[in-house]
Amino acid sequence: MANVSDRPDAGIPPAEVPDLPLPHPHTWWGRYVFSQDAKYIAIQYSGTAIAIGLVGLVLSWLMRLQLGFPGIFDFITPEAYYQFITMHGMIMVIYLLTAIFLGGFGNYLIPLMVGARDMVFPFVNMLSYWIYLLAVLVLVASFFVPGGPTGAGWTLYPPQAILSGTPGGQGAGIILMLVSLILFIIGFTMGGLNYVVTVLQARTRGMTLMRMPLTVWGIFTATVMALLAFPALFVACVMMLFDRLLGTSFFMPALVELGETLSYGGGSPIVFQHLFWFFGHPEVYIVALPAFGIVSDLISVHARKNIFGYRMMVWAIVIIGALSFIVWAHHMYVSGMHPYFGFFFATTTLIIAVPTAIKVYNWVLTLWKGDIHLTLPMLFAIAFIVTFANGGLTGLFLGNVVVDVPLSDTMFVVAHFHMVMGVAPILVIFGAIYHWYPKMTGRMLNEAMGQIHFWVTFIGAYAIFFPMHYVGLVGVPRRYPEIDASFITTPVAGLNAFISVAALVVGAAQVLFLFNLLWSLRAGRAAGPNPWRACSLEWQTPDTPPVHGNWGKDLPVVYRWAYDYSVPGAPEDFIAQNDPGPRIEKDVPL
């Protein structure tokens, strides 16, 4: 069976697209500002996402101050509180998480991991970033217009989103929000097409789809989903903009606002909800699938063991991606849609739990009989499993239609989605940064600061969101700047204050993390090309950090999957993907 020819790559078919020439900028602007190098664009995307994410973080402090210590901070009026939750929610979900996973990690890792020199359309890729930046600036501008940003909640449900009872509804706030989202989607589509075509067409010789690291599978599937889901949000935004500016009635029925009959009529607010959640549910997985992929790789590398059930993991990603398009109305069980939808959507939602659970099992089984190095990336991966398991399991409450009825729109929901799509993906982002920072900069992040950052973030976030479920179970609704009601038999004020203190502490730890990022740029220990002794291609570049074009003269040739760790009989505990090395007896049929 072994290769008869003496060249080890003799049996490998050529790549689909040959090595293409790259644009080589000659000016300072071309190299450092309007760069077309995916690695550079990745850093621009991530830097912008982290910057706006800090705004989201500060807003969460303000909200927690209000909830924990109501009545003390006079400037947090109900109007301001609603503006804070809206901007916080939107920033975190779209402008931080989506942007950093796809624009940041996608750009950095896809070309390196599939052995390409760059994305296939570098110019469009550059445009993608600049449009994203514009979207962020428009979003930020809404803080400074008269009336302030919109306070419609991140779900922007009409009619209230465009009426005067909601902050920003009759001002510029809602308009800027919608315009910013439209820009974001345009920018994302440019990047997204790029990631998809690069994965499908620009893989190097020998890099079959079933040899790609799960990171690429996760980002790839999430991008395909985003390309299908964002258009629903796009049309919803355009239609709402028309309702607001041109007086159309896509989402607006006849209504009487504060005694005054408005000239709307005939539209349906529920149609907006369907469009929003047709985007919004896949969005959860657009954030989660890249995290699933990345965490699989972190676990495998740092446990020195192949990921358990690789093919099952790939299929689980693809199946979750597909199923997540037919569960959206589980966000609408009490929206007033036809109640019989509940049967269908509860069933699909609980079915999706099965492939999701399989992923959790496979992560844990990868650790079984591993050689677990408790490095920072591994610690964050473990924290992710705990947090994600917790948040995923509470999803079974909210997905099971009848159990959702008492819980929906309470703080239980807020606790659930923060665990599953807030904290869990963020833990992966941290793990990934500790993991790939050495490749991006050539230096290791400081371990002591990292340990403090890890423990405060992991335990702190759990302390914020685990008790919050019980605030919701008591019955406290979400989006209440203060709660005082007769149904509360045991006051929740003390618990709320505790949660708020934990939130401030966790926030402070993020400042330490940012300091570490800057400090280690100069003072970090030199990393060398492959400090974690990992198999996948990005660690095999001739230069660290990789230079423009990634691979020197020749593209790498791939001989194996990305998970040949601790192979029996091999001289070392890993065999790089581009190492022709020994054939492996117990190989998976890839």
Partner 1 sequence: MIVALILLLLVLGSVIFHLVSPWWWTPIASNWAYIDSTLVVTFWITGIVFAAVVLFLAYCVYRFRHQPGRKADYEPENKRLEVWLTVATSIGVAAMLAPGLIVWKQFVTVPSEATEVEVVGQQWSWSYRLPGADGKLGASGVNWISADNPLGVSPHDSNGADDVIVEGGDLHLPIGKPVKVVLRSVDVLHDFYVPEFRAKMDMVPGTVTYFWFTPIRTGEFEVLCAELCGTGHAFMRSYVQVQEQAEYDAWLGEQVTFASLQRPRPVRVAAEP
Give, as ranges, the residues between 45 and 74 that touch partner 1 (CB under 8 A).
none
Span from 88-96, 534-542, 556-564, 566-574 in contact with ligand HEM (CB under 6 A): 88-96
Binding test (CB under 6 A) with ligand HEM, winner from 302, 305, 330, 418: 418
Q: Is 373 in the site for partner 1 (CB under 8 A)?
A: yes
Q: Is 54 in the site for ligand HEM (CB under 6 A)?
A: no
Span from 116-124, 130-138, 403-411, 438-446 in contact with partner 1 (CB under 8 A): 403-411
Give, as ranges, the residues between 440 and 469 that touch ligand HEM (CB under 6 A).
464
CA gap 247, 250 in Å, rounded? 9
Q: Is 506 in the site for ligand HEM (CB under 6 A)?
A: yes
CA gap 198, 111 in Å, rounded? 7
| HSE toward the beta carbon, residue 137, CA cutoff 13 A | 6
Q: Is 281 in the site for ligand HEM (CB under 6 A)?
A: no
CA gap 461, 14 in Å, rounded? 48
Q: How far is CA 574 from CA 110, 246, 577, in A?
A: 21, 62, 9
Span from 280-288, 402-410, 497-505, 508-516 in contact with Cu ion (CB under 5 A): 280-288
CA gap 61, 283 in Å, rounded? 25
- Asked if residue 410 lies in contact with residue 334, where contact means CB atoms within 8 angstroms, the answer is no
CA gap 103, 204 in Å, rounded? 22
Binding test (CB under 8 A) with partner 1, winner from 423, 474, 517, 535: 474
Residue 97's binding partner among partner 1, Cu ion, ligand HEM, none (Cβ under 5 to 8 angstroms by kind) is ligand HEM
Phi and psi at residue 410, to the nearest 5°: -110, 175
- Asked if residue 461 lies in contact with residue 387, where contact means CB atoms within 8 angstroms, the answer is yes
Span from 21-29, 175-183, 377-385, 414-422 in contact with partner 1 (CB under 8 A): 377-385
CA gap 451, 456 in Å, rounded? 9
Q: Is 363 in the site for ligand HEM (CB under 6 A)?
A: no
* Helix-helix angle 107-114:424-441, to 10 degrees: 60
Q: Is 210 in the site for partner 1 (CB under 8 A)?
A: no
Helix (H, G, I), strand (E, B) or coil at 234: helix
Minimum CB distance to Cu ion, residue 277 (Å): 7
Q: How far is CA 586 from CA 1, 301, 583, in A?
A: 14, 19, 9
Binding test (CB under 8 A) with partner 1, winner from 342, 425, 460, 507: 342
Which among 154, 55, 80, 57 is positioned nearest to 481, based on CA atoms? 80
Binding test (CB under 8 A) with partner 1, winner from 152, 236, 298, 575: 152
In 10 A of CB 21, how many CB atoms?
A: 7
Span from 204-212, 223-231, 389-397, 498-506 in contact with partner 1 (CB under 8 A): 389-397
Binding test (CB under 5 A) with Cu ion, winner from 281, 416, 548, 560: 281
Q: Is 289 in the site for partner 1 (CB under 8 A)?
A: no
Nearer to ligand HEM, 225 or 576 (CB): 225
CA gap 531, 574 in Å, rounded? 12
Binding test (CB under 6 A) with ligand HEM, winner from 93, 100, 427, 432: 93
Strand partners, 410: 477
Nearer to partner 1, 31 or 479 (CB): 479
* Size, binding site for ligand HEM by CB under 6 A: 23
Helix (H, G, I), strand (E, B) or coil at 2: coil
Binding test (CB under 8 A) with partner 1, winner from 481, 545, 580, 581: 481
Give, as ranges, the residues between 406 and 435 that touch partner 1 (CB under 8 A).
406-410
- Asked if residue 447 lies in contact with residue 519, where contact means CB atoms within 8 angstroms, the answer is no
Minimum CB distance to partner 1, residue 565 (Å): 6
Which residues have CB under 8 Å from 201's CB, separation 6+? 16, 17, 120
Instruction: Tell whether the torsion through CA atoms of 542, 546, 551 and 557 is positive or negative.
Output: positive
Nearer to ligand HEM, 84 or 434 (CB): 84
Span from 26-34, 250-258, 396-404, 418-426 in contact with ligand HEM (CB under 6 A): 418-426
Binding test (CB under 6 A) with ligand HEM, winner from 40, 105, 129, 154: 154
- Per CB under 5 A, residues contacting Cu ion are 281
- Residues making contact with ligand HEM (CB under 6 A): 60, 63-64, 67, 85-86, 88-89, 92-93, 97, 153-154, 414, 418, 421-422, 426, 464, 478-479, 503, 506
